[in-house]
Amino acid sequence: MYENLSFKITHTDSSSWARCGLLKTPHGTLETPNFIFCATKGAMKSLTTQQVKEAGADIILCNTYHLFLQPGGGFVQKHGGLHKMLNWNGPMLTDSGGFQIFSFGHGGISAELKGTSNQARPKTLLKIDETGATFRSYVDGQVRVLTPEASIKTQCQLGADIILALDECAPIRADKSYNERSMNLSHRWELRCLGEFKKYDTSMQALYGVIQGGVYEDLRKLSAEFVRSNDFFGQAIGGSLGKSKAHMHEIIRLTCQHIDKQRPTHLLGIGGMSDIINGIAGGIDTFDCVHPMRLARHGGALLEPQHCDGKEFINIKNSKFSGDLSPIQENCSCYCCKNFTKAYIHYLFKAKELLGGQLLAIHNTAFMSNFLKEIRAAIKAGAFGSIMKRWNIVAP
């Protein structure tokens, strides 16, 4: 398996577990660490793939759950796969649908943390059992079942370079016994995924196993050992990582102690800059999150904390920017910053013009891409410690 894919560690950091690597895929070689931008339903929010590429993105992600429901894997396959359908010629990842099962069943991570999960939108998850996840489609109301085999078949039809095994994402409020049962169920699902995957052309796609176990170190260790002992190309860290940033960072570091460090490691659904630096210090190679694009749609422009009162973005809708004739970022060469002022983008949001969100999406894509590029350069130069110090990150 995996004849057309490989992962090679090229540089390591002496002050942490950070490393640079080359992840070779059938659609190009990805330098790591790197950030994966989300084209969730087969489209980037407000941008074309050409604009995303010009802004510096190297890899994108699409979601199996949504594409399984609409338009279906067969529809995408008739287009020659996601790469051709989206006009994207770079590396691509599809996630399995496991998180969406969780989200539509429990209201999402943010709702749980705020204690509002029972008041969220109507739940569509009907049951999770050995077979898979039974749910009511948000598209047409029909009852559908996503099994490990269906997830893998769909992902093979979609044709992404990196695909993920189906797992259950246990809710934050679940106790240890539930997490253990859920983890073991995920392991059985993942073995079925591996078996189904071997029925297809395994030379053109890389299958990652998913590490679960909630906030419990012994369960995380068991799950990491399970993934390490099976024929997965890489590993992804998923599931609940705690109720605070500090707890999340601790769980990630503990988990990274037990992974196969020669395999590429992905952290699912994390996109804050300080969280990315912490993850890289622990040995994470890739990250994905809707954060940059979602932030842009709501008027958020990514910047380092010293430029935005300790936060990681400014809200361009704030009235203080109504007369600001400077760009979002002085030294940024993206299309947004080279051509438009904060005042103009502020006006666009006030006038409810879609262009405002589009321009911020371009900037946020460029900013995140350059942020990861700076980190890679620092690791190669032996200077990653200075970045950790600047962001108050403690080495593992």
DSSP strands (E only) in 147-298:
162-164, 206-211, 234-237, 265-267, 286-289
Beta strand residue intervals within 90-245, DSSP E: 92-95, 125-128, 133-136, 143-146, 162-164, 206-211, 234-237
**Residue tagged active-site, from 13, 58, 95, 167:** 95
Write out pLDDT tens, residues 1-38: 999 999 999 999 999 999 999 999 999 999 999 999 99
Nearest Cα to 279, choosing from 2, 16, 10, 5?
Answer: 16
- Which of these, 380, 373, 381, 379, lies nearest to 35 by C-alpha position? 373
> Does the pLDDT value for residue 115 go beyond 50?
no
**Which of 43-52, 78-87, 110-119 shows the lowest per-residue confidence on average (mean pLDDT)?**
110-119
Structure tokens at 31: 């330098």
* Burial class for 391, CB neighbours closer than 10 Å (0-12, 13-18, 19+): middle
**For this structure, is 288 an active site residue?**
yes
Summarize the confidence of residues 369-382 as an average pLDDT: 98
Side chain identity at 149, as an amino acid letter?
E
Cα distances (angstroms) measured from residue 357 to each of 293, 298, 361: 9, 7, 6
Catalytic residue among 13, 275, 285, 288: 288
* Residue 200 CB contacts under 8 Å (≥ 6 apart), including other chains: 152, 153, 156
| 3-class secondary-structure state, position 325 | coil
pLDDT tens digit sequence for 153-202 = 999 999 999 999 999 988 888 999 999 999 999 999 999 999 999 999 99
Give per-residue pLDDT as tens, 196-218.
999 999 999 999 999 999 999 99
Query: Looking at residue 141, what DSSP letter applies?
Result: -
Residues 6+ apart with CB under 8 A from 140: none
**Top-confidence residue, 279 or 109:** 279
- Could you give the C-alpha distances from 15 to 232, 241, 382, 393, in angstroms and in order? 29, 24, 9, 12
Reported residue count of the chain is 396
**112 pLDDT higher than 50:** no
Tell me what the pLDDT averaged over the chain comes to: 93
φ/ψ of 380, rounded to 5, equals: -65, -30
| Torsion angle (degrees, nearest 10) of CA 151, 152, 154, 159 | 140
Dist CA 95 CA 62 (whole Å)? 7
- Number of Cβ within 10 Å of residue 144's Cβ equals 18
Separation CA 230–CA 207 (nearest Å)? 11
Who's near 325: CB < 8 A, 6+ residues apart?
Answer: 341, 342, 343
Question: Looking at the predicted structure, is the pLDDT value of residue 106 above 70?
Answer: no
What is the number of alpha carbons within 13 Å of residue 277 lying toward its C-beta? 20
Q: What is the full DSSP assignment across 104-123?
A: HHH--HHHHHTT-GGGSSPP
Angle between helices 273-282 and 245-256 (to 10 degrees): 20
176: alpha, beta or left? (left if phi > 0; alpha if psi -120 to 50): alpha
Q: What is the DSSP letter of 6?
A: E
- Percent of the chain scored above 90 by pLDDT? 85
Q: Is 95 a catalytic residue?
A: yes
Q: Is the pLDDT of residue 307 over 90?
A: no
Q: Write down the pLDDT at residue 161.
A: 98
The residue type found at 233 is: F
pTM: 0.94
Q: Angle at the Cα of 167 (from 234 to 255), degrees rounded to 5?
A: 55
